Structure 1
C-alpha cells in the first residue's frame, strides 16, 4: 500500500514538475525546508539550490527566522522537481516575483549548494554576500562551517570547527 501511495504521489509530482503552482506555506521547519499546500495537498519542501545552517548550528535559528519573515502571509509560486532521499519535494520557490533561494543566499542566510546547483546567478549572490559580510558571513569566510560538514562532524569536531566567530 505504501508503494502504491508513493508511486501515485510521484506521478502527481511529475505532472506538476516544471510548471509553477500557487502555494501557501503552512510551516517553516528550518532555513531551507518548509511545508506547503498546493492542489489541496500538503508537501514537505526543500529549496533545491541552497543549504541553510542546521537549527542547532550557529546562525541556524537566524536562517529559520529569515525564511519565516520573507514568506509570512504571502502566496508563493512553486516549481517542483523531484524528491530527495528523505522524501521531501525539491522545489524552486518565488515570492513577490523573486526567487526565494537567491534572497536567502544574498542576505547571508544560506549557502549556494554548488554540489547540486551550478547556477552562476546563485554563485554570484553568495560571492556578494561574502564580500558584504552579510548574515552568517559577518566574521568572514573562514569563520563559517557549512551545514554539509556540520551534519557529518561528531560533537568534539563541531565544538572545534563550527562555533562561529562569537
Structure 2
C-alpha cells in the first residue's frame, strides 16, 4: 500500500506543473529568456506563443518589447513542460500579470495554436491584435515564425 502511494505521488508530481521564481538576467528573443533562481539559471521558453525570429521582420522589436517588461525583474514561471533543447516551457507572470498573454495583446507574438489549444484568453488576444493591426500586425504579408524556421532550415 505504501509503495502504491509513493508511486501515485511521483506520478502526480510529473503531471502537474511546478513553479520557478527568480530574476530575468537575459532576454534571448521575443519568447525566450534566462531566469536566475537561487544558484541555478534556467532557460525559459514562453508557453503558447511564438515570436518572430531575430533575423525575421519584427523579430528585434519583439525582443525589445519583452526585454522592456521583464529584464531584471523578479518573475514567476508556471512550468508546463520541457523542450528538446532543455528549456523549461512555461507561463510567465510578473506581479500576477500573464506576460505570455501580454505579448499576444500587444501584437508581439503569434499564438502557438498547436500547444495552446485550450487557452481561450490567448486566442482572443491574438485575434484582437491581428484584427486591430496592433504591433507586428501593422505590417502585411508576415511570415509565421514556424514557417520561417522550416524554410530557413531547408536552405542550410
Q: Same fold (TM over 0.5)?
A: yes
Deviations 1:103-137 (A, max 9, x none): 00110110110011111110000011012211110
Aligned length: 142
Give the corresponding residue for 1:28: 27
TM-score normalized by structure 1? Answer: 0.78
Deviations 1:52-92 (A, max 9, x none): 00000000000000000011332111111221011111111
Distance 1:112 1:23 in 2: 25
| Aligned-residue offset at 1:154 | 4.1
Give the corresponding residue for 2:138: 138
Distance 2:41 2:59 in 1: 24
Give the corresponding residue for 2:59: 60
- State whether residues 26 and 71 of structure 2, in contact with CA within 8 Å, keep that contact through their aligned partners in structure 1: no
Give the corresponding residue for 2:7: none
Q: Which runs of 5+ in 1 are unaligned?
A: 1-10, 158-166
Give the corresponding residue for 1:126: 126
Matched, 1:147 2:153: no
In angstroms, what is the RMSD of aligned CA positions? 2.2
Q: Which runs of 5+ in 2 are unaligned?
A: 1-9
Distance 1:27 1:70 in 2: 12
Give the corresponding residue for 1:92: 91
TM-score normalized by structure 2? Answer: 0.83
- State whether residues 18 and 80 of structure 2, in contact with CA within 8 Å, keep that contact through their aligned partners in structure 1: no
Distance 1:121 1:145 in 2: 23
Give the corresponding residue for 1:112: 111
